[in-house]
Amino acid sequence: MSCYPSLQAPPSKRVLARQTPQPIITSSSQARFLQGLSERIELLSLEEESLRQLMAISSRL
């Protein structure tokens, strides 16, 4: 029989579960790629927003 109650995980496991896993970036080129990707996503969402505004304006004309 273990020294821990059945519903409770050992302290080490509980601590690990609480920590959110961080993405591990292996190289600087990968980091640059991810940075460029997030910038592109940002630009796309800005474009989408301006398109919505244009459509709203044109529907009022």
Q: Are 17 and 8 in contact (CB under 8 A)?
A: no
Query: What single-letter DSSP state applies at residue 6?
Result: T
Write the pLDDT tens digit of every residue in 4-35.
455 555 555 555 556 666 666 578 888 889 89
Query: Does the pTM of the predicted model rise above 0.75?
Result: no
pLDDT of residue 31: 86
Alpha-carbon gap, residue 11 to 49, rounded angstroms: 47
